[in-house]
Each structure stands twice: as structure tokens, then as C-alpha cells.
Amino acid sequence: MPSIYCQPASGIDLGALESLFTEHMPRLAHMRDACAFACDLNASFAISDAQGALLERSALLHDIGYAPALRRFGYHPLDGALFLAERDEHPWVVEGVLRHSQADRKCGMVCGAAEEYALRPPMPDAAWLVRAVTIADWRAAGVGSRVSFARRFQDIAHRNPHNPDKIRRAGIMVSEVRDWFLEWAEEMAENRPLPWVFCDVDNTLIRPGDTLSAENIMAIKAYTAAGGAFSLATGKHPLSIAPLARKLGLTSAQITANGTCLLDQGEVTVLADLGEAAQKLRTALESMGLPIALYRKDGIEAGATWEGSLDDVFDRYGEIRPVRDVQSGPVLKILCITNGADMKRDGELRLLAAELGVDCCRSDRHFLEFLPLSGNKGQAARTVMQNSAWPVLHSLAIGDTENDEPLFALCGGCAAVGNASEEARLGADWTIGHCDAGGVGAFLDHLRTSGGWAGLRSSRVF
Ligand SMILES: [Fe+2]
């Protein structure tokens, strides 16, 4: 990457973006998410402040050409770049917009566009920025929010069910763009040889009812001894996770109660709680006759309809038993026992969560979790890495179901175990071995012995 100094000294007033996208706010949300991902690229790689500012600006503006008022050729990268060039935007920002997501390769499909591209030869010094904007574009969902590369592809496939050619091209492209990131990611290994791995517990590392296998213990210990960082990222209460962390000799912070709190050196730090929504949720769920468990910092409290047989289920999962007495302290999350196959009930409960302004996700076939909007495994992983001054994208997630999705979206890469839900597998960069066949340990061994990121490519099969 060249180190010339290049400050965005001119260009459009970013305050005007809202008025350009009045009728198209999801598009603007996507552009802002791409910009947020570019911020993580800047913070994770050795990008100078000046170049980082240009990257963020390019990512924010990359789809400005979709604004109806800017339409000329009907080809958004070109329309956006022409508009920005006329407003004295920095040439690298114009270049990032003009060529993002291989726009110059596809311009032949639009009348007159190829001639315009021919007038504007590529800028070799800005090639890295074009790639970085493209990576950011492919980690920002089409309708806002951050996603894994694989989930972005799934979104495109879902939105274009009758356009198999578009789906095929998107599939080729996501593999290529992911590989750009993976090659670049090797730079992050200069000081820290292996990525920080955040690993779900139930059905990923341990099958409920089993104990941690000797192979997985050895693999995790070897991984951390080789300079990798490893954290458990679980829905379980910190009191249940403490013995596991000790057994594995982990000195890192563990993500517990689905990201609402951390367990670090035996201390529990609360990151988020349900606030006033907790009581309203409790009332609503209990009036439906549903068994619930309220997670607080010091323990788990059983709801009114909790049955003794459910204690056995918790025992099998290695979770501490809920107590019948009223506990004190804020409610971090509420776990509701409800069968995932009952789609009608599932839909009702998700609607209830939306009405109360909380998140809702499934952590198991029988467990539906209500979480604060600011409490999930992804946000907690960010906090853990930032507390250790670790580059946020120098990280890998391993999981099996819906509550791992925010972790998949946050980390540099993500893997689903072979027994994961179909949705989780479709949203992961790789599918690794099954939970009960030591999939996690084998993946860690592969990372350790093949140089971390250097051993990962889109085509890699586990
Ligand atoms: Fe985009």
C-alpha cells in the first residue's frame, strides 16, 4: 500500500445524503454499515489516518449513485462517481465508488457505460482502497446491519429467486472477495500469529450430556500455547462456565449469558440488561403459561411455571439450576422454554419482543432467548477484543445456531459445526466437523499448523 499523504480536503457535504435517499433509507443504512466495517478495517490493519479517512468516505458513498436524483446511465457506480468527481471529491474516493465490487468488469452490460470507463483508466495506487471498499460492501447487508460474507450472498440469493445467473455471479464474487480479505488478513498475524477464536459451547464444543473431550481440551491448550487467543461464547450463566474456563486454562475473558456479561479472571462484568422490559416480558410469558428462567448476575431465577423436570434439562446442559426464591439485580436475559417446531408460537413471541424493544433469538430447539438490544455475542466479542487492544477483524467465530449470528457478523471469519442448523451453515464461511466428532479441535489444529489465516481460503473444505 503506498504511503503518500492524501487528505479528503473537498467533496460533498455528507449531511446531504439523507435528502438524496429520503425514499430509500435501507440503501443509506447499507452504505453506513459499509462505512462502519471500513472503520474496523482501518483499526485492524496498519492504515494511516489519512488513507483511512478516504476509505471510510468511499465506503459511505459507494452506492450514492442509487439516489434517483443522480441517475444518468442507470449504472450506480458510474452515476455516483460522475456526481462526486464534479463536486471535487478526492480522486481515490471517486475511484472507490467507480470500481467497487468489480463494477468496471460489469459495465459492458449497460449502454454507454463501457465508453465512460475507458476514459478513466484504473489508478494503481488506489487499487487497495477499491478492494477494501468492496470487502466492506460485502460485509454490509443489503438492507442495513452487518453480516458475514456468506450471509450477504444468501441475502442476494433470497432477493433474486428468479435470477439464477445473478445468484451464480454473486457466488463467484463472494468467494473472490472473501479471499481478498483472507490474504490481507495475514498482515494482522505479524504481531499475533493466530486469530482470536470465539467458540459457542452447547452443540458446538460440547454435546449436551457429554463432557469436554480430551481432544478438544488438547487442541484448545495447544492453540493458546501457540499464541492464539480463545474465548468461550455461550448463552450459559457465568457460574456454569467458570469450571470449564479453569479446566481449559483460559486466561481470556469468556462471553456468557449470550453476551450480556463477561467472565474475566473469576469476575463477572455486566454489559447489558433488559431494564424495564424484563417485568413486562415476565408477565406476558407467564400469562401464556410458558416456563421461563431469569438470568441475573448472581444466579438464575425460575419463573412461576417452572417445573422440576426442567431442572434435569438444565443439569444435562451443564447449566446451574434456577432457584425458586426471588433474586436481586437487573435481569440480563430471559430464557423461555418453547418448542422451535411450533412456528405460530415462535412468531407470537418474536412479535412480543419487537413490541417491547428487545431482541429475540433461538439458542436451541427448545430455548428461545429474550435479550437486550445491546447484549449479544457479537457486541460482547468486540468489547473483549477492544479491552485487549486486539484488532477486531483478527478473529474467528465458531457456532451452530441463531444466537451465534451476531458473532458470525462481527468476526473476520466464521465457521459452523457440521451439526449446525441449516441457516447457520448457510451463513458461515466454512462448515467444519461435527460437535461430537471433535470438529472444533480439528479446526483449531488446522489453524495452528497452517499459519492461521494462511490456511483459510474460500475453497477450503473441512
Ligand atoms: Fe453496496
pTM of the shown model: 0.95
pLDDT for residue 97 is more than 60:
yes
Our count of domains for the chain comes to 3
Q: In degrees rounded to 5, what are phi and psi of residue 145?
A: 85, 160
Position 48 in a domain:
yes
345 and 435 share one domain:
no
Kindly report, residue by residue over 41-95, the tens digit of the pLDDT. Answer: 999 998 999 999 999 999 999 999 999 999 999 999 999 999 999 999 999 999 9
Arithmetic mean of pLDDT over the chain:
94
Question: According to the model, what pLDDT value does residue 255 have?
Answer: 98
Cα radius of gyration rounded to whole Å, the chain:
23
Cα(424)–Cα(422) distance, rounded to whole angstroms? 5
Question: According to the model, what pLDDT value does residue 190 have?
Answer: 85
- CATH code (residue 203): 3.40.50.1000
Report how far ligand 1's centroid is from the alpha carbon of 377 (Å). Answer: 26
Report how far ligand 1's centroid is from the alpha carbon of 424 (Å). Answer: 23
- Residue 153: pLDDT band (50, 70, 90) is very high
Q: In degrees rounded to 5, what are phi and psi of residue 421?
A: -60, 155
Q: What does the buried/exposed string (b/e) look like for 279-309 if buried means 16 or more CB atoms within 10 Å of the residue's CB?
A: eebbebbeeeebbbbbbbbebbbbbeebeee
Cα(28)–Cα(23) distance, rounded to whole angstroms? 10
Position 79 in a domain:
yes
pLDDT for residue 8 is more than 60:
no
The mean pLDDT value for 434-458 works out to: 97
3-state secondary structure 420-455: CCHHHHHCCCEEECCHHHCHHHHHHHHHHHCCHHHH
- Residue 5: pLDDT band (50, 70, 90) is very low
Residues belonging to the chain: 462
The mean pLDDT value for 216-239 works out to: 97
332 and 390 share one domain:
no
Position 28 in a domain:
yes
Position 410 in a domain:
yes
Position 162 in a domain:
no
Position 4 in a domain:
no
Report how far ligand 1's centroid is from the alpha carbon of 271 (Å). Answer: 32
Report how far ligand 1's centroid is from the alpha carbon of 322 (Å). Answer: 46
Give residue 285's identity as a one-letter amino acid code: L
Domain residue limits at 18: 14-141
Report how far ligand 1's centroid is from the alpha carbon of 287 (Å). Answer: 45
Report how far ligand 1's centroid is from the alpha carbon of 453 (Å). Answer: 26
Report how far ligand 1's centroid is from the alpha carbon of 286 (Å). Answer: 44
pLDDT for residue 251 is more than 50:
yes
Of 347, 371, 395, which closes a domain? 371
Position 157 in a domain:
no
Cα(194)–Cα(191) distance, rounded to whole angstroms? 9
Report how far ligand 1's centroid is from the alpha carbon of 29 (Å). Answer: 10
